[in-house]
Amino acid sequence: MSDRNTFMRIADHYRRLILTGELDPGTKLATQRELSKTWGVSIATVTGAVQQLVVEGYLLTSPRGTFVADEPEVTSAPRDRLLHVQRVRSSLMDHETSIVTVAELKVPPLYVQELFGLDPGDQLVRREFVTGRGKNRTMYQGVYYPAEFAALVPDLLSTAPGTNAGLLAKVLAATDRTIRHARDDMHGRSSNAREASALGISVGSPILAGVHRWSDERGVIEYGEWCIPARYTIGYEYGAGQ
């Protein structure tokens, strides 16, 4: 494996441990020399991985060593959350909370109707929620599911605390569906009034906005639109096929 691939693998490993809460804020990492022995790579490769995570806001370095940032200004991308669902059946990382503000059957905008292949007037399940860590609001999200899922998973129409974390796992189990295709799209823009209110920022503040589409051969399972404040970082590793 090339140094570049190893560097990405090391960075992704510690990024995931921090996002999932397996490495708590303030945790001191082993020295770079010790990490190089653990991973069987050069110190330069380890240094590159550490520096990448410092730039992203996950780690801090000082003469005393390398530490997990006390309040990392990072949040999880849709890909991270989907992988977390597959691992532990929850879309929330450790220490994250989620407040659901909307859970309803609704006729969606035309572009969403087309995405799901609906007829005019057909409804979808619409859920809106804010994800946070401590006092920080890290993501505002609205997601759509096929309306027929609500009969199989009544929690889709519930705003009760605690229903959000394991909801996608319940949907997949109840519908006997498996997400086989996933795509994320992101762009920077200014926040509108609804997004600003949800995130606790001023209207017009810069945000990173995105959408994700998760589907199988039968169609879209979940479509989501989300945004995070500009100060937060998201990142993930991916393979480049030949």
**For position 15, what pLDDT does the model report?**
85
Which helix (H) or strand (E) segment holds residue 42: the answer is none
Q: List the domain range (segments joined by +) for residue 38.
A: 3-68
**For position 88, what pLDDT does the model report?**
84
From the DSSP assignment, how many helices (H) and strands (E) are in the chain?
8, 8
Same domain for 192 and 94: yes
Q: Which of 171, 176, 184, 196 has the alpha carbon at shortest distance from 91?
A: 171
At 89, list the tokens.
């059946």
What is the reported pTM? 0.77
Same domain for 89 and 175: yes
At 100, list the tokens.
């659901």
Same domain for 172 and 143: yes
Does residue 237 lie within any of the structural domains?
no
Same domain for 27 and 88: no
How buried is 112 (Cβ within 10 angstroms: 0-12 exposed, 13-18 middle, 19+ buried)? Answer: middle
Q: What total of structural domains would you count in the chain?
A: 2
Give the CATH number for residue 28: 1.10.10.10
The position carrying tokens 């569906």 is 177
Task: Give the relative orientation of helices 32-39 and 3-19 as an angle to the nearest 10 degrees.
Answer: 110
**What one-character DSSP code corresponds to residue 233?**
B
Give the CATH number for residue 105: 3.40.1410.10
Same domain for 121 and 57: no
Q: How many CA atoms lie within 13 A of 232 on its CB side?
A: 24
The position carrying tokens 């505002």 is 140
Same domain for 27 and 58: yes
Does residue 238 lie within any of the structural domains?
no
Same domain for 172 and 59: no
**What one-character DSSP code corresponds to residue 23?**
S
Single residue among 41, 68, 95 that ends a domain in this structure: 68
Same domain for 122 and 47: no
**For position 242, what pLDDT does the model report?**
42
- Tell me the C-alpha distance between 158 and 181, whole Å: 27
Tens-level pLDDT at each residue, the chain (242 residues): 456 678 888 988 898 888 777 888 889 999 999 999 999 999 999 999 999 888 878 899 988 999 998 876 778 888 888 888 888 888 888 778 899 999 999 999 999 999 999 999 999 999 999 999 878 899 999 999 999 999 999 999 999 988 998 999 999 999 999 999 999 999 999 999 999 999 999 999 999 999 999 999 999 999 999 999 998 888 776 655 54
